[in-house]
Structure 1
Amino acid sequence: MNHLSSQPGRSSRGSVLPVRKSVQNLAIASAVALLMASGVAQAQTAAPAESAMVKLIRGLIQSGTLNKDVGEALLAQAQTEAMAAQQAQRQVAAVAAAAPVAGTAAMRPEAGDVRVPYISQTVRDQIRDEVKGQVMAQARTEGWAAPNETPEWSKRIRIEGDMRLRNESRYYGRANDNMNIIDYAAINAGSGYDVNPNTASGLPPTLNTRQDRKNLWRVRARFGVLADISDTTTAGVRLATGSDDNPVSTTQTLGGGLNKKNIWLDQAWIANRPTDWLKITGGRFANPFVSSDMLFSNDLNFDGVAAQFDKKFSNDTLSMFGTLGIIPLEYSSDNFPKDQGDKMRSETKWLLGAQVGANWKLDSTNRLRGAVAYYSFQNINGKLSDPCRLYSGETTTCSTDWSRPAYMQKGNTMMLLRNIALNPANPANTPLPQYMGLASKFQLLDLNARWETKVLGDYGLRLDANYIRNLAYDEDEMFRRANGGILNNYDRTGVNARANFESGGNAYMVQATLGNPNPSLRGEWNVSAGYKYIEPDAMPDAYNDSSFHLGGTNARGYTLGGTYAFDKNTSLTGRWLSSKTIYSSPLAIDVMQLELNTRF
């Protein structure tokens, strides 16, 4: 805190005066302590010394430098000592006058001499410490005792952040399907797409599949503040960039006419540790589960409440960890349907997660981590609506419009949500504006393993593996739920029949990293290689890495990368991601990323 900063109505010189005055007060108080500690014996005359001492103490009391109680005690002590000195002087004079002895002339008091009782060193030290303590307490209160000292509250605040500058190029296969890769997210964000060819105004929106996008300059900046509220409670807030409010990326594309960039609330949480091995966090916080980016993007944060435990055993060679999470994904609108008087009941989409795992320190160079998790996505699949008569103009909504995903990437099997009644006066030309929802349910079993060792002397080697199975995947149930309205993931014959449907509920990935997994010091480095295989309905396509296959499922391919730290907490990274679809229409995408990363 700068105590010399200017204030309204004061000059910069005026703001220094309180500090100087306080320093002067401290000097005066120290003089009082030294004077009283040395005793009145060093004074030149009795009356003037007594009068000066009393006046000095009274002046310090009136100026506020001495506390009134302490000042009055010192004043009484000074007066008592003065009276004792006068009494001693009278006694000495009386003895000298009554019994003069030869040779005692040198000991006879002369004019101006004062004799006082002895004050021990202990008493003098006590008086000095009391005065000094009083003055220093006032100095700390007023903030001039140690002007460069950091305020106590600031010691409980920590700031952290990171920045990334990325050059990204996207290369699309020339044989990619140019017509059938539908942008379902764009349809759901609008007023629906008319699937009646007799009344449709055009083709549905599609994704780019053939035109390369080179040299996209992108940036990510994150800035967080962490506070230690107490020994057991902490809180944090973090802001981040982002092109939109999607949950899986905080990267902002540059350009756009040099317009200013968006800042979003990325995290806001409170955590408490009731015991050393348990932490409970609520709000919006980082991913509390041990997982890979095949399931959850590294930029993904969670809303809700999570409880995490971590317990060490066997002299730190074995530790157990686990997480329970209750994550609200989406709430239906309180005002749905907006054009009807009777509103529907509240609907909530949830993620309920449970995980348990262990870390083993096998020896000085080998560590093993294993975890098993179960993720139950509640109420996120699409639901076929009750019959709705949109042609009548009485409403523009159907009962299950809320079940379309709030956010999606691509790959999941989609179904039509609206059961639209035909206009009996003109059934062939009844507009059928449709929304799309997820055809499959999702109950995920997630197995995660990591082995860390040393090779070729002292080089670190990390091997990661992840397997995911959607236990709720059931093709027959999907077609029953959709009543035949399955839209995608058919084979390449172009026939959308049950026999031509292709999907699956499995996903896996493996990755090897040689070197330091997280280079932070100059000269540290790593290289990595991995492979991913993600069937269309192995997981919700909304939440995984947005770089591999540009996000989503129904993708397989490899990744190559390397990082070199050329300065403290500052590194260069190169990454190549190559992918193509497993089933259905061909879509091959290669992504190259060159990055400059730093953190603080």
Structure 2
Amino acid sequence: MFKLKICKGGVRMLKKGFLIGAMAVATLMGGMRSVAMAEMSDQEMRLLALEEKQNANAELLEIMKRFTWKGDLRLRYQGETREQPNNVESDRDRYRLRFRVGADIHMLKDLDIGFRLNTAGLAERDSGNQTFDGGFTHRAFDLDQAFFRYTPSVAGWNTTWQGGKFDPPFMRSEVVFDSDITVEGISEQFSKKFGNTQLDANFGQFVYDEINSGDGSDDIFILGYQGVVTQKTDLGKFKFAVAYYDVANAEDPLSTFSGTTGFNTNSEIKMLDFMAEWSEKVMGQELKVFGEYEQNVGKIDSADRTSGDLNSAWQVGAKYGKSGKKFGDYDLKVIYRVVQANSVLDTISDSDFHGSNSNGRGFEAGGSLGLAKGVQLAITYFNTQEERGNKDEREILQTDLKFKF
């Protein structure tokens, strides 16, 4: 048997030889490609460049297919009249706009990313309006939503898991949440159908305010729990919801909590909310009748008691029709609402009803007319006054031209 022995110097020489050989092969291949490119005609070069461009465009198109864009523009005239004690009256006319644009981006199976920009401005939470004022100055355009949405099926239940900044994940009205509010935190939703019955369970854990005062005060959270039952019958569709919203640590006297009515932070805010809705087709259009009762079951501080706890809110209303799909379609609505002083967290409730304050009662009436697909003309009228206390009567007329895309 022969054994081949190579000294260390020989190994180094072999490695060097292999390296030189590899470089020679690479140089030869590059030279051959250069020769081939040189031998190509101008037409062949153009065809090659076109093919590469088409491949790049195809890749970009595949990426763009993952985006579902959406947005809206609203132009508004708002006229306001207010009458206070001693017959003091004030009038105000405002011309306003709201513009929102965003997209849902499909990442993986059951996983989407969403975002939206809005003209709200960093100091706003319950309105995207920008009033025409300030000598043609530029308008704020800020992040309004940014979230992930994961929608797997678990044990026969459709589930939705969200995190970030997004719409409140509840069956809701503007008694508790203004329509422009976007919460910040996480949520979990579960839904399942049993024949003509659908069950939904919605949960949310949101950060309202992070306290960094160094005095031992706690952060403010909003924790939401809701159950919903939807039942289809020969008499129409019925929907019932029960929710509990706990504004945790709002009663901490050290928290820098602020509301439009000076809601005392020594009082607890724990809202128990009941909603009911019936809908049915009437003369080819959907008729919806609804009602809601909400009560703050938290402890009310003695400083907030004037004549009792004043801790409930309720509304009843009806809506007929639906507009926005084509020319000539329409909807009409009317709502009567009462919101007592200690009933809701008024910094996130309806910003149009009684100046975004609690301690109000009155009605809202309005309607909209479709001018084309995605184009609406809407009119809304509010007439409210103080639920208790001094005279404070307000009238608001809003005329909106809306474009949805």
Alignment deviations for residues 59-95 of structure 1 (CA, whole Å, 9 cap, x no partner): 999748xxxxxxxxxxxxxxxxxxxxxxxxxxxxxxx
- For the pair 1:599 / 2:404, whether they are aligned, the reply is yes
| Change in CA separation of 1:536 and 1:147 when aligned onto 2, cut-off 3 Å | closer
Residue ranges of structure 2 left out of the alignment (5+ in a row): 1-31, 38-47
| Change in CA separation of 1:148 and 1:460 when aligned onto 2, cut-off 3 Å | same
SS of the residue 1:152 aligns to = helix
TM-score for the superposition, normalised by structure 2: 0.83
Paired residue type of 1:565: G
Q: Match for residue 262 of structure 1? A: 140
- For the pair 1:462 / 2:288, whether they are aligned, the reply is yes
Q: CA deviation at 1:489?
A: 6.9
Q: Match for residue 326 of structure 1? A: 205
Query: CA separation in 1, counterparts of 2:390 and 2:270?
Result: 26
Alignment deviations for residues 281-326 of structure 1 (CA, whole Å, 9 cap, x no partner): 0000011111101110000000000011121221xx2211121111
Query: CA separation in 2, counterparts of 1:281 and 1:147?
Result: 33
Q: Match for residue 582 of structure 1? A: 387
Residue of structure 1 aligned with 2:226, choices 336, 355, 360: 355
Q: Match for residue 241 of structure 1? A: 119
User: Equivalences for 1:552-563 in 2 at 5 Å?
Assistant: 552-563=357-368
Paired residue type of 1:222: R
- For the pair 1:379 / 2:264, whether they are aligned, the reply is no
Q: Would the aligned equivalents of 2:218 and 2:252 in 1 still touch at CA under 8 Å?
A: no
Q: Would the aligned equivalents of 1:502 and 1:583 in 2 still touch at CA under 8 Å?
A: no
| Change in CA separation of 1:265 and 1:582 when aligned onto 2, cut-off 3 Å | same
Query: CA separation in 1, counterparts of 2:172 and 2:74?
Result: 23
Q: CA deviation at 1:238?
A: 0.8
Q: CA deviation at 1:573?
A: 0.4
Q: Would the aligned equivalents of 1:461 and 1:513 in 2 still touch at CA under 8 Å?
A: yes
Query: CA separation in 1, counterparts of 2:233 and 2:192?
Result: 17
Q: Would the aligned equivalents of 1:473 and 1:537 in 2 still touch at CA under 8 Å?
A: no
- For the pair 1:509 / 2:315, whether they are aligned, the reply is yes
Q: Would the aligned equivalents of 2:324 and 2:372 in 1 still touch at CA under 8 Å?
A: no
Query: CA separation in 2, counterparts of 1:369 and 1:62?
Result: 76
- For the pair 1:298 / 2:179, whether they are aligned, the reply is yes
Q: Would the aligned equivalents of 2:217 and 2:252 in 1 still touch at CA under 8 Å?
A: no
Query: CA separation in 2, counterparts of 1:274 and 1:377?
Result: 29
Q: CA deviation at 1:250?
A: 1.0
TM-score for the superposition, normalised by structure 1: 0.57
| Change in CA separation of 1:471 and 1:157 when aligned onto 2, cut-off 3 Å | same
Q: Match for residue 312 of structure 1? A: 193
Residue of structure 1 aligned with 2:238, choices 353, 361, 368: 368
Paired residue type of 1:469: Q
Query: CA separation in 1, counterparts of 2:336 and 2:398?
Result: 17
Q: CA deviation at 1:461?
A: 0.7
Query: CA separation in 2, counterparts of 1:296 and 1:247?
Result: 11
Q: Match for residue 404 of structure 1? A: 256
Q: CA deviation at 1:345?
A: 3.9
Q: Would the aligned equivalents of 1:322 and 1:357 in 2 still touch at CA under 8 Å?
A: yes
Paired residue type of 1:304: G
Q: CA deviation at 1:519?
A: 3.1
Q: CA deviation at 1:232?
A: 1.4
Paired residue type of 2:314: Y
Query: CA separation in 2, counterparts of 1:465 and 1:473?
Result: 25
Alignment deviations for residues 482-533 of structure 1 (CA, whole Å, 9 cap, x no partner): xxxx3x774xxxxxxxxxx4551111011111112x5332211011111000
Residue of structure 2 aligned with 1:453, choices 280, 297, 318: 280
Q: CA deviation at 1:257?
A: 1.2
User: Equivalences for 1:500-539 in 2 at 5 Å?
Assistant: 501=307, 503-516=309-322, 518-539=323-344
- What is the number of equivalent residue pairs in this alignment? 361
Query: CA separation in 1, counterparts of 2:289 and 2:220?
Result: 35
SS of the residue 1:583 aligns to = coil
- For the pair 1:546 / 2:351, whether they are aligned, the reply is yes
Query: CA separation in 2, counterparts of 1:171 and 1:257?
Result: 25
Q: Match for residue 22 of structure 2? A: none
Q: CA deviation at 1:152?
A: 1.0
Q: CA deviation at 1:143?
A: 3.8
Query: CA separation in 2, counterparts of 1:372 and 1:470?
Result: 14
Query: CA separation in 2, counterparts of 1:590 and 1:298?
Result: 20
- For the pair 1:283 / 2:160, whether they are aligned, the reply is no
Q: CA deviation at 1:144?
A: 3.3
Q: Would the aligned equivalents of 1:350 and 1:379 in 2 still touch at CA under 8 Å?
A: yes
Paired residue type of 1:176: P
Query: Which protein has the larger Cα radius of gyration, Structure 1 or Structure 2?
Result: 1
Q: CA deviation at 1:176?
A: 3.0
Q: Would the aligned equivalents of 2:250 and 2:266 in 1 still touch at CA under 8 Å?
A: no
User: Equivalences for 1:73-88 in 2 at 5 Å?
Assistant: none
Q: CA deviation at 1:380?
A: 0.8
| Change in CA separation of 1:242 and 1:145 when aligned onto 2, cut-off 3 Å | closer
Q: CA deviation at 1:582?
A: 1.2
Paired residue type of 1:154: M
SS of the residue 1:144 aligns to = helix
Percent sequence identity over matched residues? 25
Q: Match for residue 176 of structure 1? A: 85
Q: CA deviation at 1:413?
A: 4.6
- Higher strand content, 1 or 2: 2
Alignment deviations for residues 520-574 of structure 1 (CA, whole Å, 9 cap, x no partner): 3221101111100011111111111111111121000011101001111100001
Q: Match for residue 29 of structure 2? A: none
User: Equivalences for 1:45-84 in 2 at 5 Å?
Assistant: 63=36
Q: CA deviation at 1:370?
A: 1.1
SS of the residue 2:139 aligns to = coil
Alignment deviations for residues 143-196 of structure 1 (CA, whole Å, 9 cap, x no partner): 4369688621111011110110000011112x4369xxxxxxxxxxxxxxxxxx
Query: CA separation in 2, counterparts of 1:60 and 1:244?
Result: 58
Paired residue type of 1:509: Q
SS of the residue 2:65 aligns to = helix
